[in-house]
């Protein structure tokens, strides 16, 4: 494949390929190709995917100078740009809310923007201008540190499929209306909200991620939900408002998700779910649920254990279970309700597909051990149970091992792996 | 009962632009979307006579590489890690091969391969200076210094404007080069001017032949440049005739009778050869504020004059020769126009 030396090997490639190559370069390098030769002068100007960040300009010690340089660079770039812009990402620490960003958004709204990511500096939260809500072709919107206040005539983004709001200051009704107004929404991520009470109506939603302090989540209509990931933060004083919310949180949250395949609950999730829980209600079966990850489950609270049990028992096709415990060994040594496991615990329930169990932060408290016993007894196809003791458990480890060894195992293949001192 | 013969594989026949035909296992070839479509839509490729014609960019060597890629990727059971490692090794080619491969993969509509090679090329380009990039890809450096420094104007503008800008810039470059060359002989330059002026006055006072035409033409050139906006060529001629003052007038009668047709001819010819460059100078000086400071502008004006004179190099040489040979009348070829009849007047 020898080329005569001096023959241009790249300029004659189709423009579509050159755009692919330029898109994979940092935008600064892409613009610099304009002085390679006369034919390269405007090859960069029709790029449809633009990513601007603080690396676009050389950085000075003076923050204002860097900010100005960045603003100039982006403004000049957009001014010289030709054709539609489909993806625009602005991720900067230096740039604060400024009228320039508003202008850029106005410009983008006229260029048929489809995917927008906006993350600006954190001193002054950027107030999204109304032209953002005029970008009706948006399919993906990601906003960080932003204030959203849509105009009254805003009906939602009819093409939006992916919505990610982090640290966004917005009224709760606005979010609900926004979600309802995006009928095609498939993925929703809400992070770092304060005291948000949310009712979600999203017929096409498949992926839901929530992180923050939520007062009340009701998944009213989310029939296609496949993956749910919730991290519920809570300060200790806020446990009371939790108690006051009406109805059973479990049902409100997981009552209408028959297609669920993966569930991840972190921090206070199980506690949240346990509120209003009534044993004996006919549960929904999660036929497709294959993976359950529950972190910081407190095995001192009977209610939380019930929640876990209900989840496991409602998932006949569960294959993997990961649980981390947040029990305090000292406090839980006088455990109550231990007879639950012998008397009230549902019997004859086989976890027919459970293959892997991972338990971490195990303290060896009675309820934890009973739970493991329960799992071992009822999992005929179990292959691996890996146990990672909590870092504060020093002398109890051997007891835990001894107890575990005693437990009857329904599965002949089951291996109990005790992981030591993972540094 | 169907007899299954495991050793019978089906092959697809592919033909590259150089006419050579090769056969490839079906599952390997079908990994390529373009071949797959051809087979399903037109049924070609089943035999040597009906080989699928591959696009122009696919020569046998490149095809070999692409088929290797297909062969590895279509096999099920490779882990992601294995695929990644293979891809990394696959793109360890020289830049020219990568570009060829990219063009071929694109014409065969193999998106993942296109993405892979594009990423490799982007990695090559990233972080390099423009000079290095030009060297790597043999891109001709045909932008002028001005264009490189200019903010990108003329976006989507008239190509003639850009062409003129380029010509102007090239001329300026040439001027600067000549300036550099002449700097060596600065002293001589100064000396040169005066003798020529003296010579001209001498000539005008003495012979009154078409050399005078040349002189006036020089001056006309300068005037023309400045008065271009308002006057046409013919007007220029007339005006400069007058402006030239005493010198030609005394011989107007003679000159008119004898040399006017020639003069007109000469002027026209000259204008045709230099109109573009002259036009350039005018156009750019009036139109574009290219941020030159006045001093540099003056310099350029001087250069333009110089340039105009350089165009008349033949005359200069002749003049000097005449000087040095002591008014010896000789017939010299008039090289600019190749019009032998004019030579008669060199006398």
Write out the DSSP string of B122-159.
HHHHTT--HHHHHHHHT------HHHHHS-S--TT--H
* Residues of chain A above pLDDT 70, percent: 90
Cβ(A179)–Cβ(A188) below 8 Å = yes
A184, A161 Cβ separation under 8 angstroms: yes
CB A286 within 8 A of CB A258: yes
Write down the pLDDT at residue B114.
Answer: 94
pLDDT at A251: 82
Which positions ≥6 away from B278 have C-beta within 8 Å?
B221, B224, B225, B228, B271
pLDDT one-digit tens code per residue, A306-318? 889 888 988 999 9
Query: What is residue A292's predicted lDDT score, i.e. its pLDDT?
Result: 94
Q: What mean pLDDT, rounded, does chain B reach?
A: 67
Give the residue from B252, B16, B30, B102 showing the smallest Cα distance to A17: B102
Residue B176 backbone dihedrals phi, psi, to 5 degrees? -65, -40
Distances (CA, A) of B131 to A27, A74, B127, B139, B229: 18, 25, 12, 9, 42
The torsion region of residue A200 among left (phi > 0), alpha (psi -120 to 50) and beta comes to: beta
Query: Is the pLDDT higher at B208 or at B63?
Result: B63
B337 pLDDT above the threshold of 60: no
pLDDT tens digits, one per residue of A96-132: 778 889 999 999 999 999 999 999 877 778 888 899 9
Confidence of residue A240 (pLDDT cuts 50, 70, 90): low
A293 lies within 8 A of chain B by CB: no
Residue B250 burial by CB count (10 A; 0-12/13-18/19+): exposed, middle or buried? middle
Is it the case that residue A156 has pLDDT exceeding 70? Answer: yes
- Phi, psi (rounded to 5 degrees) for B259: -115, 0
Contact A313, A356 (CB under 8 A): no
Per-residue pLDDT band at A195 (split at 50, 70, 90): confident
**pLDDT above 50: residue B259:** no
User: Sheet holding B52-53: strands in order across?
Assistant: B21-25, B11-15, B52-53
Identify how many contiguous H helices and E strands chain A contains and give both numbers.
11, 15
pLDDT at A148 > cutoff 80: yes
Residue A269 to residue A304: CA distance in whole angstroms:
9
All residues of chain B having their beta carbon less than 8 Å from the beta carbon of residue A45 are 155
**A21 close to B (CB below 8 A):** yes
- CA angle centred on B71, ends B65 and B75, rounded to 5°: 155
Residue B270 has pLDDT above 70, yes or no: no
**Nearest-angstrom CA–CA distance, A23 and A13:** 15
Higher pLDDT, B149 or B106: B106
d(CA A200, CA B40): 46
- What is the C-alpha radius of gyration for chain B, rounded to an integer number of angstroms? 35
More confident of the two residues B276 and B119: B119
pLDDT higher than threshold 80 for residue B284:
no
Nearest chain A CA: its distance from B95 CA (Å): 9
Confidence of residue A161 (pLDDT cuts 50, 70, 90): very high
Q: B104 to chain A: nearest residue by CA? A: A13
Q: What 3-state class would DSSP assign to A189?
A: strand
Q: Mean pLDDT lowest for which of A141-150, A299-308, A394-403, B115-124?
A: A394-403
Is the Cβ pair B139, A17 closer than 8 Å?
no
- A-B contacts (CB, under 8 Å): 92
Q: Where are the alpha helices (DSSP H) in chain B?
A: 26-29, 33-42, 60-74, 80-90, 95-107, 111-125, 130-137, 145-149, 159-183, 186-206, 210-227, 233-243, 246-249, 252-287, 294-311, 313-325, 340-343
Instruction: Record the pTM.
Output: 0.68
Q: Are B140 and A8 in contact (CB under 8 A)?
A: yes
* pLDDT tier at B148, thresholds 50, 70, 90: low
pLDDT at B334 over 50: no
Residue of A6, A30, A37 for testing the chain B interface, max B β-carbons within 10 Å: A37
Kindly indicate the confidence band of residue A242, based on its pLDDT and cuts at 50, 70 and 90: low
Residue A142 parent element (H or E): strand A140-147
Q: Indicate if the pLDDT at residue A67 is higher than 70.
A: yes
Q: What mean pLDDT do residues B302-314 have?
A: 71
pLDDT of residue A289: 93
Question: What is the per-residue pLDDT across B30-52, written as a single tens digit (0 to 9) for each?
Answer: 888 888 888 888 888 778 888 88
Q: Which of A8, A14, A32 sits opposite B140 (nearest CB)?
A: A8
pLDDT at B163: 66
Lowest mean pLDDT among A276-290, B232-246, B317-331: B232-246
Q: How big is chain B, counted in residues? A: 347
Task: Say what the pLDDT of residue B150 is.
Answer: 62
Rounded to a whole number of angstroms, the distance from the CA of B49 to the nearest CA of chain A is: 28
Phi-psi region of B252 (alpha: psi -120 to 50; beta: other; left: phi over 0): alpha
The answer to whether residue B143 neighbours chain A at the CB level (below 8 Å) is yes
**Contacts for A103 with CB less than 8 Å, ≥ 6 apart:** A75
Task: Annotate A2-30 with b (16+ C-beta within 10 A) or e (fewer).
Answer: eeeeeebbbbebeeebbbbbbbbbbbbbb
Chain A residues in contact with B142 by the CB 8 A cut-off are 37-38
Residues A379, A345: contact at Cβ < 8 Å?
A: no
Task: Say yes or no: B140 contacts chain A, CB-CB below 8 A.
Answer: yes
Which residues in chain A have Cβ-Cβ distances shorter than 8 Å to B156? 82
User: A175, A212 in Cβ contact below 8 A?
Assistant: no
Region of poorest pLDDT, from A200-209, A241-250, B284-293, B301-310: B284-293
Distance from CA of A401 to the nearest CA of B (A): 36
Say how many Å lie between the first and final Cα of chain B, rounded. 110
pLDDT in tens, B106-133: 998 999 999 999 999 999 998 888 888 8
Q: How many CB atoms lie within 10 A of CB B69?
A: 22
**The pLDDT of residue B202:** 65
Distance CA B121, CA B139 (A): 15
H-helix or E-strand spanning residue A218: strand A207-221
pLDDT, position B26: 86
DSSP symbols for A351-409: -TT--EEEEEEE---HHHHHHHHHHHHH-TT--EEEEEE-TT-SSSHHHHHHHHHHS--
pLDDT on residue A88: 95
- Residue A251 CA to chain centroid, in angstroms? 21
pLDDT for the residue numbered B341: 44
Out of A303-312, B20-29, B293-302, which region has the weakest mean confidence (pLDDT)?
A: B293-302
This model of the complex carries an ipTM of 0.76
Determine the pLDDT at residue A362. 85
Quote the percentage of chain B above a pLDDT of 70.
49
Does residue A322 register a pLDDT over 70? yes
Position B49 scores a pLDDT of 81
């Amino acid at each position: 494949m020898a080329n005569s030396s001096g023959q241009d090997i790249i300029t004659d490639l189709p423009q579509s390929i050159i755009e692919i190559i330029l898109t994979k370069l940092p935008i600064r390098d892409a613009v610099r190709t304009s002085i390679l030769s006369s034919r390269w002068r405007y090859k960069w100007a029709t790029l449809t995917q633009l990513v601007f960040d603080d690396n676009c300009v050389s950085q000075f010690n003076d923050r204002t100078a860097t900010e100005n340089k960045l603003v100039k660079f982006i403004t000049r770039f957009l001014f010289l740009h030709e054709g539609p812009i489909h993806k625009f990402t602005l991720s900067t620490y230096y740039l604060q809310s400024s009228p320039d960003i508003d202008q850029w958004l106005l410009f983008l709204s006229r260029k048929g923007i489809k995917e927008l990511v906006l993350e600006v500096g954190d001193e002054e939260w950027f107030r999204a201008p109304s032209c953002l809500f005029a970008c009706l072709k948006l399919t993906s919107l990601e906003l960080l540190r932003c204030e959203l206040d849509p105009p009254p005539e805003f009906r939602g983004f009819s093409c939006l499929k992916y919505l990610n709001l982090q640290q966004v200051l917005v009224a709760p009704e606005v979010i609900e209306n926004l979600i309802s107004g995006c009928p095609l929404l498939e993925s929703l991520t809400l992070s770092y909200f304060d005291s948000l009470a949310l009712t979600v109506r999203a017929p096409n939603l498949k992926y839901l991620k929530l992180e923050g302090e939520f007062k009340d989540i009701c998944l009213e209509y989310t029939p296609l939900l496949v993956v749910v990931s919730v991290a519920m933060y809570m300060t200790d004083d806020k446990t009371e408002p939790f108690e006051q919310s009406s109805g059973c949180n479990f049902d409100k949250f997981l009552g209408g998700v028959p297609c669920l395949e993966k569930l991840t609950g972190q921090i206070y999730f199980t506690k949240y779910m346990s509120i209003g829980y009534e044993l004996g209600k006919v549960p929904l079966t999660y036929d497709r649920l294959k993976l359950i990850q529950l972190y910081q489950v407190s095995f001192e609270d009977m209610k939380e254990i019930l929640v876990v049990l209900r989840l496991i028992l409602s998932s006949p096709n569960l294959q993997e279970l990961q649980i981390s415990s947040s029990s305090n060994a000292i406090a839980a040594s006088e455990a109550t309700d231990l007879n639950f496991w012998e008397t009230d615990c549902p019997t004859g329930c086989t976890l027919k597909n459970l293959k892997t169990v991972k338990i971490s932060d195990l303290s060896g408290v009675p309820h934890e051990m009973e739970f493991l016993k329960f799992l071992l007894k009822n999992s005929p196809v179990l292959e691996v149970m890996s146990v990672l003791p909590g870092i504060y458990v020093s002398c109890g480890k051997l007891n835990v091992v001894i107890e575990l060894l005693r437990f009857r195992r329904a599965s002949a293949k089951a291996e109990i792996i005790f992981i030591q001192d993972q540094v | 009962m169907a007899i299954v013969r495991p050793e019978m594989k089906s092959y697809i026949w592919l033909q590259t632009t150089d006419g050579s035909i090769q056969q490839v296992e079906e599952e390997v070839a079908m990994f390529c979307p373009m071949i797959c479509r051809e087979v399903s839509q037109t049924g070609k490729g089943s035999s040597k006579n009906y080989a699928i014609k591959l696009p122009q960019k696919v020569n046998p060597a490149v095809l070999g590489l692409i088929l290797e890629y297909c062969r590895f990727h279509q096999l099920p059971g490779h882990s992601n890690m294995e695929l990644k490692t293979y891809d990394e090794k696959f793109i360890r080619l020289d830049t020219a091969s990568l570009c060829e491969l990219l063009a071929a993969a694109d014409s065969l509509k193999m998106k993942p391969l296109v993405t892979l090679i594009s990423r490799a090329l982007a990695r090559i380009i990233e972080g390099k200076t423009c000079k290095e990039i030009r060297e790597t890809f043999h891109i001709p450096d045909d932008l002028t210094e001005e264009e490189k420094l200019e903010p990108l104007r003329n976006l989507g503008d008239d190509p003639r404007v850009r062409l003129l800008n380029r010509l102007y810039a090239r001329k300026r470059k040439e001027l600067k080069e000549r300036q550099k060359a002449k700097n060596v002989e600065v002293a001589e330059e100064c000396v040169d001017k005066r003798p020529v002026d003296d010579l001209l006055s001498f000539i005008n006072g003495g012979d009154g032949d078409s050399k005078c035409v040349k002189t006036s033409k020089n001056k006309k050139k300068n005037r023309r440049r400045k008065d271009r906006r308002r006057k046409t060529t013919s007007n220029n001629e007339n005006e400069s005739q007058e402006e030239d003052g005493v010198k030609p007038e005394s011989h107007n009668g003679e000159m008119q009778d004898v040399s006017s047709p020639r003069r007109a001819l000469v002027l026209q010819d000259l204008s045709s050869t230099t109109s573009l460059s002259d036009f350039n100078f005018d156009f750019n000086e009036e139109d574009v504020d290219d941020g030159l400071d006045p001093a540099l502008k003056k310099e350029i004006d001087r250069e333009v004059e110089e340039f105009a004179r350089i165009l008349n190099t033949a005359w200069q040489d002749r003049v000097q020769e005449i000087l040095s040979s002591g008014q010896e009348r000789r017939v010299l070829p008039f090289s600019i126009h190749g019009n032998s009849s004019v030579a008669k007047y060199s006398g």
